[in-house]
Amino acid sequence: MIITKIIDETSTTKRFYLKPDNDLPFKAGQYISLSLPIDPRKSRGIRHYSIANSPNADEVELVIVEKEGGKGTAYLWSLEVGDHIELGHGASGVLTIDNYKKNLIFICTGTGISPFKSILEFIKEEKIETGDIHLVFGTRREENILYFKEMQELVEAIPQLNYHIILSREPWKGRQGYVHEVYKEIIENYFQAMENGEHNELPLEFFICGWKDMVDEARKTLFDIGFDKKQVKVEVYE
């Protein structure tokens, strides 16, 4: 794959736009693996990154955060437009949607927003009918908010989309704290609407992506509330 564009998203995060050498079919919400020359024990090292754009796009968009001491990001940060990156294998992953006629709750931290941006762009482009959608995005500081402009545009284009930003490390004009407080409120409101006969009668389905501690706690919380494993899909970023 050829790098066609690199954008500094934040001080520690970059967007990479890649043109595949051959057809690279993928579903919204999936990830790809890059084969990088970084492991002295092997000829290549494999790194996995979620695709951040719609399957209808001609290129693959990745948003990658720099990992302190990480060989993968050190190598990627050294690359320039026009350089070639080897694909490890095709797209895969569990954060895909077969039936959109549900209330969709996307819970993420950091670059874990990537698969949900892909899904939302696909919903917009294909004019897919869904139930209510909540994107719950957590990060540390305002400077770490990813895709702010793009998400505002998606909110305008998708009437049923509710976008929640939560910062954990500094005060700001929006919500402070952690994602857990927000999705629990969404669930409470859903159950209250059921009691009042005001809900849309569609089931809830949860998709969780991001830092391991957050994913583990969110999954446990949802299971403790009583949601079935079939209603909760997760991917962990190590």
pLDDT tens for residues 101-146? 999 999 999 999 999 999 999 999 999 999 999 999 999 999 999 9
pLDDT at 171: 84
Look at residues 92, 114, 135 and tell me which one is the last residue of a structural domain: 92
Look at residues 92, 127, 158 and tell me which one is the last residue of a structural domain: 92
Same domain, 143 and 44: no
**Residue 97 domain-assigned?**
no
**Residue 195 domain-assigned?**
yes
Mean pLDDT of 26-30: 97
Look at residues 92, 123, 148 and tell me which one is the last residue of a structural domain: 92
Same domain, 228 and 195: yes
Checking if the pLDDT of 25 tops 90, the result is yes
User: Taking a C-beta distance cutoff of 8 angstroms, is the pair 209, 219 a contact?
Assistant: no
Same domain, 151 and 62: no
**Residue 98 domain-assigned?**
no
* 11 phi and psi angles, rounded to 5 deg: -65, -20
Instruction: Provide the pLDDT confidence category of residue 174 given band limits of 50, 70 and 90.
Output: confident
**Which CATH number do you get for residue 167?**
3.40.50.80
**Residue 39 domain-assigned?**
yes
Same domain, 154 and 204: yes
The structure tokens 């702010």 sit at 148
Same domain, 77 and 156: no
CA 128/CA 158 separation, integer angstroms: 10
CA 94/CA 115 separation, integer angstroms: 10
Same domain, 78 and 126: no
Same domain, 88 and 22: yes
Checking if the pLDDT of 39 tops 90, the result is no
**Residue 190 domain-assigned?**
yes
Same domain, 69 and 168: no
CA 51/CA 61 separation, integer angstroms: 6
CA 114/CA 25 separation, integer angstroms: 17
Same domain, 72 and 9: yes
pLDDT at 104: 98
pLDDT at 43: 61
**Residue 151 domain-assigned?**
yes
| Structural domain that includes position 33 | 2-92
Mean pLDDT of 94-107: 96
Amino acid at 155: V
Q: What is the mean pLDDT of the chain?
A: 94
Instruction: Provide the pLDDT confidence category of residue 31 given band limits of 50, 70 and 90.
Output: very high
First to last CA, the chain: 24
pLDDT at 199: 77
**Residue 8 domain-assigned?**
yes
Per the structure, how many domains does the chain have? 2
**Which CATH number do you get for residue 77?**
2.40.30.10
Same domain, 67 and 131: no
**Residue 136 domain-assigned?**
yes
The token duo for 174 is 């929006």
Q: Look at the pTM and tell me if it is higher than 0.85.
A: yes
Instruction: Specify the 3-state DSSP secondary structure of 238.
Output: coil
Same domain, 39 and 115: no
| Residue (of 196, 169, 164) closest to 181 by Cα position | 164
CA Rg, the chain, in Å?
A: 18
Same domain, 71 and 135: no
